Amino acid sequence: MEVCSLPLSATQRGKLISAGYTSLSSLSSASASDLARDLKISDGEALEILHVASRSSRSDNAEGSHAIINGAQNAWDMLHEESSLTRITTSSADLDNILGGGISCKEVTEIGGVPGIGKTQLGIQLAVNVQIPPHCGGLGGRAIYIDTEGSFMVERALQVAEACIEDMSEYSRFLRKDLQTFQVGLQSKDILENIYYFRVCSYTEQIALVNYLDKFITEHRDVKIVIIDSITFHFRQDFDDLALRTRVLSGMALKLMKVAKNFSLAVVLLNQVTTKHTEGSFQLGLALGDSWSHSCTNRVILYWNGNERCAYIDKSPSLRSASAPYSVTSRGIRNSTSNYKRVKMM
């Protein structure tokens, strides 16, 4: 449908066409402020034009299934879609339980904890687990691992991948109930090949990479998880202007959320902890400040409870706050089988 057929004044029509808005679909993606700028008219007038355009297009599609503003979805559809989305398991059933089945796609999850608690281990585990093929209950996707600290160790990823393959073949043998060795059809080499690894050495590189993610994932549609280990490191240096840091960070968070939504993939951000000095006492909290805590849909905090590692859901719109123990073994993240290993070692 052409702009000429809209019930508008001739001057407005002329302005629209000379600014390049010839079809209704070109108007559908324009915002009022864009239009006002391009046509050099007031915001109100631009809004009026958009109203007219949307009304006439609605009457055009009598069934009303196609709104001019794309992207709106009703909650029922979303619920349906959500139930069909699989989650990425952490390989620890207890941890999966409190996460509602694993790390959810389409959402940004932040995981924080003290050094040595297992953030990187969890990151590596997720990068491997996202590749579990659908017939074993996984997503069969690929992973992007953005390393800002240099803690990603290939030898460790290989260990975790090999353990994961063993577990999968065990699982499928159990499922098929035949004792023949079943080939999962996945080798540890493939698993490592399916992790796109980026080493980022400064915050400018980090921002550039986050901006580039959109394009990269468009070319690699099977990427199902983006892990940033850690989101914090470069933002704790070279920033004297904290207001600027907040702006840059929230811009990056928005981009990540958009990527998560558009490609229905999981974004996992690992964060460091810091002590906050308030009224003479020190309190532990995740780094990057209060405004950053709005940037993530879910927030999981890892902490020590005696000799046991625990995870705690600090913030989530759909999960209740709960905590569960887990352990880091040579095979990766597993359920905590209370002090079987550490005690033996001492």
Partner 1 sequence: MTPENLLHHPFPSQKCTLGCPILDRCLSGGVPCNSITEIVAESGSGKTQLCLQLSLCAQLPVSLGGLSASALYFHTEFSFPFRRLNQLSHCFQSLYPQVFISDAVNSSKNGNCNPCDNIYVQSVHSADQLLDMMPKIESFLANSKTHFPVRLIVIDSVAALFRSEFGNTTSDLWRRSSLFFKISGKLKVLAKRYNLAVVVTNQVVDFVGSGEGVNGVRIGNLGSLCSSGRRVCPALGLAWASCVNSRLFLARDENGLVDGDESSFPYWQTTRRLHIIFAPHLPYSSCELVIRREGVFGIDR
Does residue number 75 form part of the binding site for partner 1 (CB under 8 A)? no
Decide: is 280 part of the binding site for partner 1 (CB under 8 A). Answer: no
Selection from 250, 202, 261 nearest residue 226 by Cα: 261
The least CB distance from residue 208 to partner 1, in Å, is 6
Q: Which stretch binds partner 1 (CB under 8 A): 36-44, 94-102, 135-143, 237-245?
A: 237-245
Write the DSSP assignment of 42-86 as a string of letters: -HHHHHHHHHHHHHHHHHHSTT--S-SSTT---HHHHHHHHHH--
Among the candidate windows 42-50, 114-122, 170-178, 251-259, which touches partner 1 by CB under 8 A?
A: 114-122
CA distance linking residue 308 with residue 324, whole number of Å = 10
Here the tokens at position 290 are: 């209060």
Verify binding: residue 26, partner 1, rule CB under 8 A. no
* 14 vs 116, beta carbon nearer partner 1: 116
- Binding flag, residue 238, partner 1 (CB under 8 A): yes
| 286 vs 111: CA distance, rounded Å | 9
Which of 6, 49, 195, 227: binder of partner 1 (CB under 8 A)? 195
- Shortest spacing between CB 119 and partner 1, in angstroms: 10
* Shortest Å distance, C-beta 254 to partner 1: 19
Residue 337 as a binder of partner 1 (CB under 8 A): the answer is: no
> Quick one: how far is CA 28 from the chain centroid?
28
Report if residue 340 touches partner 1, rule: CB under 8 A. Answer: no
19 versus 114: smaller Cβ distance to partner 1: 114
Contact 302, 309 (CB under 8 A): yes
Regarding 128 and contact with partner 1 (CB under 8 A), the answer is no
Q: Compute the radius of gyration of the chain from its Cα atoms.
A: 25
- 59 contacts partner 1 (rule: CB under 8 A): no
Tokens of 3: 């702009």
Give the one residue of 17, 251, 284, 318 binding partner 1; rule: CB under 8 A: 284
Amino acid at 234: H
57's tokens: 């297009």
Contacts of 24 (CB under 8 A, 6+ apart): 1, 2, 3, 6, 53, 56, 57, 68
Among 13, 15, 106, 234, binds partner 1 (CB under 8 A): 234
Among 77, 155, 178, 241, binds partner 1 (CB under 8 A): 155
The conformation of residue 262, written as its DSSP 8-state character, comes to: H
For 284, the 3-state DSSP assignment is strand
Residue 59: Cβ-neighbour burial (10 angstroms; 0-12, 13-18, 19+) = exposed
Q: Which is nearer to partner 1, 35 or 144 (CB)?
A: 144
Residue 219 within binding range of partner 1, rule CB under 8 A: no
- One-letter amino acid of 223: V
Q: Which of 7, 64, 71, 306 binds partner 1 (CB under 8 A)?
A: 306
120 lies in the site for partner 1, by CB under 8 A: yes
Q: Could you tell me the sign of the dihedral formed by the alpha carbons of 316, 320, 323, 328, in that order?
A: negative
Query: Contact with partner 1 (CB under 8 A): which of 199, 221, 247, 258?
Result: 199
Binding positions for partner 1, rule: CB under 8 A: 114-116, 120-121, 149-157, 192-193, 195-202, 205, 208-209, 212, 216, 232-234, 236-238, 240, 272-275, 277, 282, 284, 287, 304, 306-307, 328-330, 342, 345
